[in-house]
Amino acid sequence: MTARPTLDDVARIYRTPVLDLIFRAAEVHRAHHDASSVQVCVLQSIKTGGCPEDCGYCPQAARYHTTVEAEPLMDVEAVLANARAAKASGASRFCMGAAWREVKDNRQFDRVLEMIRGVKELGLEACATLGMVTESQAERMKDAGLDAYNHNLDTSEEYYNRIIQTRTYADRLNTLANVRKAGITVCCGGIVGMGESDDDRIGLLHTLANLPEPPESVPINALVAVEGTPLADRPNVSIWDMVRTIATARILMPTSMVRLSAGRLGMTETDQALCFLAGANSIFAGEKRLTTPNPGVDRDQALFDTLGLVPSGQRSAFSNQPEETVLTQ
Ligand code: SAM
Ligand code: DTB
Ligand code: SF4
Protein backbone atom coordinates (compact mmCIF):
# COMPACT_ATOMS: atom_id res chain seq x y z
CA MET A 1 0.00 0.00 0.00
CA THR A 2 1.36 3.40 -0.92
CA ALA A 3 1.29 6.35 1.46
CA ARG A 4 -1.88 8.38 2.19
CA PRO A 5 -4.66 5.82 1.79
CA THR A 6 -8.14 7.35 1.85
CA LEU A 7 -10.84 6.26 4.27
CA ASP A 8 -12.43 4.35 1.36
CA ASP A 9 -9.16 2.55 0.62
CA VAL A 10 -8.89 1.49 4.26
CA ALA A 11 -12.54 0.38 4.40
CA ARG A 12 -12.11 -1.66 1.22
CA ILE A 13 -9.11 -3.48 2.67
CA TYR A 14 -10.73 -4.02 6.09
CA ARG A 15 -13.93 -5.43 4.52
CA THR A 16 -12.18 -7.88 2.16
CA PRO A 17 -13.41 -11.47 2.73
CA VAL A 18 -11.36 -12.51 5.73
CA LEU A 19 -9.39 -15.37 4.15
CA ASP A 20 -8.37 -13.16 1.23
CA LEU A 21 -7.47 -10.42 3.68
CA ILE A 22 -5.24 -12.75 5.69
CA PHE A 23 -3.63 -14.07 2.50
CA ARG A 24 -2.87 -10.57 1.24
CA ALA A 25 -1.54 -9.41 4.60
CA ALA A 26 0.66 -12.52 4.79
CA GLU A 27 2.10 -11.69 1.35
CA VAL A 28 2.88 -8.11 2.41
CA HIS A 29 4.36 -9.38 5.66
CA ARG A 30 6.67 -11.80 3.84
CA ALA A 31 7.75 -9.18 1.30
CA HIS A 32 8.97 -6.83 4.04
CA HIS A 33 9.93 -8.98 7.03
CA ASP A 34 11.37 -12.29 8.06
CA ALA A 35 8.03 -13.97 8.79
CA SER A 36 9.65 -16.45 11.19
CA SER A 37 10.92 -13.65 13.43
CA VAL A 38 8.98 -12.16 16.36
CA GLN A 39 10.10 -9.18 18.39
CA VAL A 40 9.69 -9.93 22.08
CA CYS A 41 9.09 -6.87 24.27
CA VAL A 42 8.93 -6.99 28.03
CA LEU A 43 6.73 -4.42 29.67
CA GLN A 44 7.51 -3.11 33.12
CA SER A 45 5.13 -0.96 35.12
CA ILE A 46 7.51 1.51 36.78
CA LYS A 47 4.71 3.47 38.44
CA THR A 48 1.41 1.71 38.96
CA GLY A 49 -2.12 3.02 39.56
CA GLY A 50 -3.51 6.20 41.03
CA CYS A 51 -3.81 7.85 37.62
CA PRO A 52 -5.94 11.01 37.41
CA GLU A 53 -7.23 10.23 33.88
CA ASP A 54 -10.59 8.59 33.14
CA CYS A 55 -9.71 6.11 30.34
CA GLY A 56 -12.71 3.77 30.49
CA TYR A 57 -10.69 0.59 29.93
CA CYS A 58 -7.97 1.25 32.45
CA PRO A 59 -7.59 -0.49 35.82
CA GLN A 60 -5.01 2.14 36.83
CA ALA A 61 -7.39 5.10 36.80
CA ALA A 62 -7.76 6.23 40.44
CA ARG A 63 -11.47 6.95 40.01
CA TYR A 64 -12.42 3.32 39.27
CA HIS A 65 -12.51 0.79 42.07
CA THR A 66 -10.30 -2.03 40.86
CA THR A 67 -7.92 -4.31 42.73
CA VAL A 68 -4.91 -2.32 41.50
CA GLU A 69 -3.12 -0.60 44.38
CA ALA A 70 -1.22 2.58 43.67
CA GLU A 71 2.54 2.23 44.01
CA PRO A 72 5.20 4.95 43.85
CA LEU A 73 7.80 5.25 41.09
CA MET A 74 10.22 2.31 41.33
CA ASP A 75 13.91 2.63 42.13
CA VAL A 76 16.32 2.65 39.20
CA GLU A 77 18.13 -0.47 40.43
CA ALA A 78 14.94 -2.53 40.78
CA VAL A 79 13.92 -1.64 37.22
CA LEU A 80 17.36 -2.49 35.86
CA ALA A 81 17.36 -5.84 37.65
CA ASN A 82 14.13 -6.67 35.81
CA ALA A 83 15.61 -5.40 32.54
CA ARG A 84 18.56 -7.76 33.00
CA ALA A 85 16.18 -10.66 33.61
CA ALA A 86 14.17 -9.66 30.52
CA LYS A 87 17.31 -9.72 28.43
CA ALA A 88 18.27 -13.13 29.82
CA SER A 89 14.83 -14.48 28.88
CA GLY A 90 15.38 -13.47 25.23
CA ALA A 91 13.63 -10.09 25.05
CA SER A 92 15.10 -7.43 22.78
CA ARG A 93 12.98 -4.47 23.86
CA PHE A 94 12.19 -3.22 27.35
CA CYS A 95 9.21 -0.91 27.72
CA MET A 96 8.62 1.15 30.87
CA GLY A 97 5.08 2.30 31.62
CA ALA A 98 3.91 4.88 34.15
CA ALA A 99 0.32 5.64 35.14
CA TRP A 100 0.75 9.36 34.64
CA ARG A 101 -1.41 11.86 32.77
CA GLU A 102 1.75 13.62 31.62
CA VAL A 103 5.43 13.90 32.33
CA LYS A 104 6.43 16.70 34.70
CA ASP A 105 9.91 18.21 34.83
CA ASN A 106 10.85 16.97 38.27
CA ARG A 107 13.09 14.48 40.10
CA GLN A 108 10.83 11.61 39.09
CA PHE A 109 11.44 12.35 35.42
CA ASP A 110 15.19 12.53 36.15
CA ARG A 111 14.89 9.06 37.62
CA VAL A 112 13.12 7.75 34.51
CA LEU A 113 15.92 9.24 32.37
CA GLU A 114 18.38 7.28 34.49
CA MET A 115 16.36 4.10 33.89
CA ILE A 116 16.47 4.74 30.13
CA ARG A 117 20.26 5.17 30.24
CA GLY A 118 20.59 1.95 32.25
CA VAL A 119 18.40 -0.08 29.88
CA LYS A 120 20.47 1.15 26.93
CA GLU A 121 23.70 0.15 28.69
CA LEU A 122 22.35 -3.39 28.86
CA GLY A 123 22.10 -3.41 25.06
CA LEU A 124 18.31 -3.50 25.00
CA GLU A 125 16.02 -1.27 22.97
CA ALA A 126 14.41 1.17 25.38
CA CYS A 127 10.78 2.22 25.13
CA ALA A 128 8.67 4.32 27.49
CA THR A 129 4.98 5.15 27.88
CA LEU A 130 4.47 7.93 30.40
CA GLY A 131 1.48 9.92 29.11
CA MET A 132 1.72 13.30 27.40
CA VAL A 133 5.17 14.82 26.75
CA THR A 134 6.39 18.21 25.56
CA GLU A 135 9.00 18.65 22.85
CA SER A 136 11.77 19.42 25.35
CA GLN A 137 10.90 16.39 27.50
CA ALA A 138 11.02 14.23 24.36
CA GLU A 139 14.45 15.69 23.55
CA ARG A 140 15.73 14.83 27.03
CA MET A 141 14.50 11.25 26.60
CA LYS A 142 16.17 11.06 23.20
CA ASP A 143 19.44 12.30 24.75
CA ALA A 144 19.16 9.58 27.39
CA GLY A 145 19.00 7.04 24.53
CA LEU A 146 15.27 6.29 24.27
CA ASP A 147 14.47 4.37 21.07
CA ALA A 148 10.68 4.41 21.10
CA TYR A 149 7.78 6.14 22.81
CA ASN A 150 4.37 4.49 23.13
CA HIS A 151 1.30 6.70 23.09
CA ASN A 152 -1.89 5.18 21.67
CA LEU A 153 -4.75 6.87 19.85
CA ASP A 154 -6.81 3.93 21.18
CA THR A 155 -9.77 4.29 18.76
CA SER A 156 -11.28 6.55 16.09
CA GLU A 157 -11.58 10.28 16.69
CA GLU A 158 -15.39 9.85 16.64
CA TYR A 159 -15.52 7.12 19.30
CA TYR A 160 -12.70 8.53 21.44
CA ASN A 161 -14.77 10.71 23.78
CA ARG A 162 -17.05 7.80 24.62
CA ILE A 163 -13.98 6.28 26.30
CA ILE A 164 -11.89 9.22 27.53
CA GLN A 165 -12.91 12.73 28.54
CA THR A 166 -9.91 14.03 30.45
CA ARG A 167 -7.79 14.63 27.36
CA THR A 168 -8.51 15.03 23.68
CA TYR A 169 -7.53 13.28 20.48
CA ALA A 170 -5.68 16.47 19.55
CA ASP A 171 -3.66 16.23 22.80
CA ARG A 172 -2.59 12.74 21.79
CA LEU A 173 -1.63 13.79 18.27
CA ASN A 174 0.38 16.63 19.76
CA THR A 175 2.39 14.27 21.97
CA LEU A 176 3.03 12.03 18.96
CA ALA A 177 4.32 15.05 17.02
CA ASN A 178 6.64 16.03 19.91
CA VAL A 179 8.06 12.51 20.03
CA ARG A 180 8.60 12.52 16.27
CA LYS A 181 10.31 15.94 16.33
CA ALA A 182 12.80 14.66 18.90
CA GLY A 183 13.76 11.80 16.57
CA ILE A 184 12.34 9.03 18.78
CA THR A 185 10.46 6.28 16.94
CA VAL A 186 6.71 6.23 17.47
CA CYS A 187 4.75 3.29 18.86
CA CYS A 188 1.05 4.01 18.43
CA GLY A 189 -2.01 1.83 18.07
CA GLY A 190 -5.27 1.08 19.78
CA ILE A 191 -7.69 -1.26 21.47
CA VAL A 192 -10.23 -3.58 19.85
CA GLY A 193 -13.32 -4.67 21.78
CA MET A 194 -14.49 -1.49 23.54
CA GLY A 195 -17.86 -1.54 21.74
CA GLU A 196 -16.54 0.39 18.75
CA SER A 197 -17.81 -0.38 15.23
CA ASP A 198 -15.88 -1.57 12.18
CA ASP A 199 -15.98 2.05 11.00
CA ASP A 200 -14.21 3.14 14.19
CA ARG A 201 -11.45 0.58 13.62
CA ILE A 202 -11.20 1.71 10.00
CA GLY A 203 -11.02 5.34 11.21
CA LEU A 204 -8.21 4.55 13.67
CA LEU A 205 -6.20 2.66 11.02
CA HIS A 206 -6.76 5.50 8.55
CA THR A 207 -5.44 8.05 11.06
CA LEU A 208 -2.40 5.91 11.92
CA ALA A 209 -1.47 5.33 8.27
CA ASN A 210 -1.89 9.06 7.52
CA LEU A 211 0.30 10.43 10.32
CA PRO A 212 3.08 12.58 8.80
CA GLU A 213 5.13 9.39 9.12
CA PRO A 214 3.43 6.11 10.04
CA PRO A 215 4.36 4.72 13.47
CA GLU A 216 7.31 2.31 13.46
CA SER A 217 5.29 0.08 15.72
CA VAL A 218 1.57 -0.42 15.95
CA PRO A 219 0.28 -2.19 19.08
CA ILE A 220 -3.13 -3.79 18.64
CA ASN A 221 -4.61 -4.55 22.06
CA ALA A 222 -7.66 -6.74 22.68
CA LEU A 223 -9.55 -5.15 25.54
CA VAL A 224 -8.88 -6.84 28.86
CA ALA A 225 -12.19 -6.12 30.60
CA VAL A 226 -11.30 -5.37 34.21
CA GLU A 227 -13.78 -5.49 37.10
CA GLY A 228 -14.48 -1.99 38.40
CA THR A 229 -13.82 -0.17 35.11
CA PRO A 230 -16.70 1.15 32.96
CA LEU A 231 -15.87 -1.49 30.33
CA ALA A 232 -15.91 -4.39 32.81
CA ASP A 233 -18.89 -6.10 31.17
CA ARG A 234 -17.63 -6.04 27.60
CA PRO A 235 -17.56 -9.56 26.13
CA ASN A 236 -14.30 -10.93 24.70
CA VAL A 237 -13.76 -9.42 21.28
CA SER A 238 -14.26 -11.65 18.24
CA ILE A 239 -10.98 -13.01 16.93
CA TRP A 240 -12.06 -11.95 13.43
CA ASP A 241 -12.20 -8.31 14.50
CA MET A 242 -8.64 -8.66 15.86
CA VAL A 243 -7.44 -10.43 12.72
CA ARG A 244 -9.02 -7.86 10.38
CA THR A 245 -7.48 -4.99 12.37
CA ILE A 246 -4.02 -6.59 12.39
CA ALA A 247 -4.15 -7.57 8.70
CA THR A 248 -5.29 -4.10 7.63
CA ALA A 249 -2.54 -2.49 9.73
CA ARG A 250 0.01 -4.81 8.10
CA ILE A 251 -1.14 -3.94 4.56
CA LEU A 252 -1.32 -0.18 5.26
CA MET A 253 2.00 -0.02 7.14
CA PRO A 254 4.11 -2.75 5.52
CA THR A 255 7.43 -1.95 7.19
CA SER A 256 6.10 -1.27 10.70
CA MET A 257 6.16 -3.78 13.54
CA VAL A 258 2.58 -4.81 14.30
CA ARG A 259 2.33 -5.89 17.92
CA LEU A 260 -0.21 -8.35 19.27
CA SER A 261 -0.42 -6.62 22.64
CA ALA A 262 -2.91 -6.93 25.52
CA GLY A 263 -5.49 -9.70 25.63
CA ARG A 264 -3.48 -12.74 24.52
CA LEU A 265 -4.57 -14.67 27.61
CA GLY A 266 -8.13 -14.60 26.26
CA MET A 267 -6.98 -16.15 22.97
CA THR A 268 -6.26 -19.73 22.02
CA GLU A 269 -2.97 -20.71 20.36
CA THR A 270 -4.88 -20.98 17.09
CA ASP A 271 -6.24 -17.44 17.49
CA GLN A 272 -2.72 -16.14 18.08
CA ALA A 273 -1.42 -18.12 15.08
CA LEU A 274 -4.02 -16.38 12.89
CA CYS A 275 -2.79 -13.02 14.17
CA PHE A 276 0.82 -13.92 13.28
CA LEU A 277 -0.30 -15.12 9.86
CA ALA A 278 -2.18 -11.83 9.40
CA GLY A 279 1.07 -9.93 9.93
CA ALA A 280 1.63 -9.49 13.66
CA ASN A 281 5.36 -9.77 14.31
CA SER A 282 5.79 -8.63 17.88
CA ILE A 283 4.36 -9.49 21.30
CA PHE A 284 4.55 -8.38 24.89
CA ALA A 285 6.05 -11.17 26.95
CA GLY A 286 6.21 -11.87 30.67
CA GLU A 287 3.70 -13.04 33.26
CA LYS A 288 2.13 -9.62 33.59
CA ARG A 289 1.75 -6.70 31.24
CA LEU A 290 1.13 -3.69 33.46
CA THR A 291 -1.49 -4.89 35.92
CA THR A 292 -3.29 -7.79 34.17
CA PRO A 293 -1.89 -11.30 33.53
CA ASN A 294 -0.17 -12.38 30.30
CA PRO A 295 0.96 -15.85 29.16
CA GLY A 296 4.25 -16.82 30.85
CA VAL A 297 7.57 -17.03 29.01
CA ASP A 298 7.44 -20.87 28.89
CA ARG A 299 4.00 -20.88 27.33
CA ASP A 300 5.12 -18.37 24.72
CA GLN A 301 8.23 -20.41 23.96
CA ALA A 302 6.04 -23.49 23.45
CA LEU A 303 3.81 -21.49 21.08
CA PHE A 304 6.87 -20.22 19.16
CA ASP A 305 8.17 -23.80 18.88
CA THR A 306 4.82 -25.01 17.55
CA LEU A 307 4.64 -22.21 14.98
CA GLY A 308 8.34 -22.18 14.04
CA LEU A 309 8.75 -18.60 15.26
CA VAL A 310 12.00 -17.27 16.68
CA PRO A 311 12.55 -14.17 18.85
CA SER A 312 14.31 -11.51 16.73
CA GLY A 313 18.06 -11.65 17.07
CA GLN A 314 18.02 -15.45 17.12
CA ARG A 315 18.17 -17.03 13.67
CA SER A 316 15.62 -19.56 12.40
CA ALA A 317 16.44 -22.50 10.15
CA PHE A 318 13.24 -21.72 8.22
CA SER A 319 13.78 -18.00 7.61
CA ASN A 320 12.37 -16.59 4.34
CA GLN A 321 15.05 -13.87 4.23
CA PRO A 322 18.75 -13.98 3.28
CA GLU A 323 21.05 -14.08 6.31
CA GLU A 324 22.48 -10.56 5.79
CA THR A 325 18.99 -9.04 5.93
CA VAL A 326 18.25 -10.75 9.21
CA LEU A 327 21.54 -9.73 10.73
CA THR A 328 21.18 -6.09 9.80
CA GLN A 329 17.59 -5.83 11.01
N1 SAM B 1 -0.48 6.35 31.14
C2 SAM B 1 0.11 6.22 29.87
C3 SAM B 1 -0.83 6.48 28.74
O4 SAM B 1 -2.03 6.33 28.88
O5 SAM B 1 -0.36 6.84 27.65
C6 SAM B 1 0.82 4.90 29.63
C7 SAM B 1 0.23 3.57 30.05
S8 SAM B 1 -1.32 3.06 29.33
C9 SAM B 1 -1.69 1.70 30.33
C10 SAM B 1 -0.90 2.47 27.74
C11 SAM B 1 -1.97 1.85 26.86
O12 SAM B 1 -2.35 0.58 27.38
C13 SAM B 1 -3.30 2.57 26.71
O14 SAM B 1 -3.25 3.62 25.80
C15 SAM B 1 -4.19 1.46 26.20
O16 SAM B 1 -4.17 1.41 24.78
C17 SAM B 1 -3.55 0.20 26.78
N18 SAM B 1 -4.45 -0.40 27.79
C19 SAM B 1 -4.63 0.02 29.06
N20 SAM B 1 -5.52 -0.75 29.71
C21 SAM B 1 -5.94 -1.69 28.82
C22 SAM B 1 -6.87 -2.77 28.91
N23 SAM B 1 -7.57 -3.02 30.00
N24 SAM B 1 -7.03 -3.55 27.81
C25 SAM B 1 -6.34 -3.29 26.69
N26 SAM B 1 -5.45 -2.28 26.55
C27 SAM B 1 -5.26 -1.49 27.60
C1 DTB C 1 0.08 -0.94 24.63
O2 DTB C 1 -0.43 -0.62 23.55
N3 DTB C 1 -0.28 -1.99 25.37
C4 DTB C 1 0.50 -2.07 26.57
C5 DTB C 1 1.53 -0.93 26.38
N6 DTB C 1 1.07 -0.29 25.20
C7 DTB C 1 1.84 -0.01 27.47
C8 DTB C 1 -0.31 -2.00 27.84
C9 DTB C 1 -1.36 -3.04 27.94
C10 DTB C 1 -2.00 -2.91 29.30
C11 DTB C 1 -3.05 -3.90 29.57
C12 DTB C 1 -3.75 -3.69 30.87
C13 DTB C 1 -2.88 -3.87 32.08
O14 DTB C 1 -2.24 -4.94 32.24
O15 DTB C 1 -2.85 -2.96 32.93
FE1 SF4 D 1 -3.89 6.72 33.18
FE2 SF4 D 1 -2.75 5.70 31.00
FE3 SF4 D 1 -4.60 4.30 32.39
FE4 SF4 D 1 -5.36 6.40 30.98
S5 SF4 D 1 -4.45 4.51 30.19
S6 SF4 D 1 -5.98 5.94 33.10
S7 SF4 D 1 -3.60 7.77 31.23
S8 SF4 D 1 -2.58 4.91 33.11
pLDDT tens for each residue of 105-118: 999 999 999 999 99
Ligand 2 atom 2, closest CA = 219
pTM (predicted TM-score): 0.93
How confident is the model over 132-145, as pLDDT tens digits? 999 999 999 999 99
Q: Can you give the pLDDT at residue 6?
A: 97
Report residues whose beta carbon is within 6 angstroms of any ligand 1 atom: 57-58, 97, 99-100, 129, 131, 151-152, 154, 191, 221, 223-224, 226, 262, 290
Q: Can you give the pLDDT at residue 154?
A: 97
Q: Ligand 1 mean position to 152 CA, how many Å? A: 8
DSSP β-bridge partners for residue 218 = 258
Q: Can you give the pLDDT at residue 89?
A: 82
Q: Ligand 2 mean position to 320 CA, how many Å? A: 31
Instruction: Work out the angle at residue 104's Cα, subtended by the Cα atoms of residues 99 and 108, and round it to the nearest 5 degrees.
Output: 70
Q: Ligand 2 mean position to 218 CA, how many Å? A: 13
Ligand 2 atom 11, closest CA = 262
Q: Is 150 in the pocket of ligand 3 (CB under 6 A)?
A: no
Q: Ligand 3 mean position to 49 CA, how many Å? A: 8
Q: Can you give the pLDDT at residue 91?
A: 86
pLDDT tens for the chain, 329 residues long, are 556 999 999 999 999 999 999 999 999 999 999 999 999 889 999 999 999 999 999 999 999 989 888 899 999 999 999 999 988 888 889 999 999 999 999 999 999 999 999 999 999 999 999 999 999 999 999 999 999 999 999 999 999 999 999 999 999 999 999 999 999 999 999 999 999 999 999 999 999 999 999 999 999 999 999 999 999 999 999 999 999 999 999 999 999 999 999 888 889 999 999 999 999 999 988 666 566 666 677 788 889 999 999 988 664 444 445 444 444 43
Report the residue among 220, 224, 261 best suited for mutation to probe ligand 2: largest number of ligand atoms under 8 A from its CB: 261
Q: Can you give the pLDDT at residue 300?
A: 86
Report residues whose beta carbon is within 6 angstroms of any ligand 2 atom: 43, 59, 97, 129, 150, 152, 189, 219, 221, 224, 261-262, 289-292
Q: Can you give the pLDDT at residue 312?
A: 85
Q: Is 103 in the pocket of ligand 3 (CB under 6 A)?
A: no
Q: At what angle do helices 169-181 and 135-144 cross, to 10 degrees?
A: 40
Q: Is 96 in the pocket of ligand 3 (CB under 6 A)?
A: no
Q: Ligand 1 mean position to 55 CA, how many Å? A: 8
Catalytic positions, please? 51, 55, 58, 95, 127, 187, 259
Q: Is 55 in the pocket of ligand 3 (CB under 6 A)?
A: yes
Q: Can you give the pLDDT at residue 256?
A: 97
> Which ligand has the nearest atom to the CA of 130?
1
Q: Ligand 1 mean position to 26 CA, how many Å? A: 28
